[in-house]
Amino acid sequence: MKKTKVINSEISYTISKMGHTDSLTIGDCGLPIPDDVKRIDLALTHNVPTFIQTLDVVLDELCVEEVVIAEEIEDKNAAVYEEILKRFKDIKITKVSHEEFKKLTKDSKAVVRTGECSPYANIILKSGVVF
């Protein structure tokens, strides 16, 4: 049995295949997912699991060198924005419009859909290297 916290086989497998600068998106339940991008659907009901719960588990396994968020989150979802800032104090945070964010998800290895029901609770994690 796996020793790390990520027991979801699809998330674990996706992370294991990622190379430097590859991206993984974690999104709220309303984020549109492009048809040609792998969907890992964790949503059970409203806010289960939450965006932050999912992000924290993924961060236990994925080395991140940069994140991308929608600039709208700062005003429209300050609580989640502050939680993101706490987790990425020494990591580059790039802000783009929500429309641009949705376009960027097309380059992700996968989009992890959470049950989060708050606006703009989405993030693109760009893989770093562990050496």
Catalytic member of 2, 5, 17, 20: 20
The question of whether 20 is a catalytic residue gets the answer: yes
Place of tokens 């020494």: 90
Of 37, 52, 56, 59, which is closest to residue 114 (Cα–Cα)? 52
Q: Which residue numbers belong to the known binding site for substrate? A: 28, 98, 120-122
Q: Could you tell me which residues are annotated as the binding site?
A: 28, 98, 120-122
In the beta sheet, which residues pair with residue 48? 45
93 CB-contact burial (10 Å; exposed 0-12 / middle 13-18 / buried 19+): middle
Q: Which residues are catalytic?
A: 20
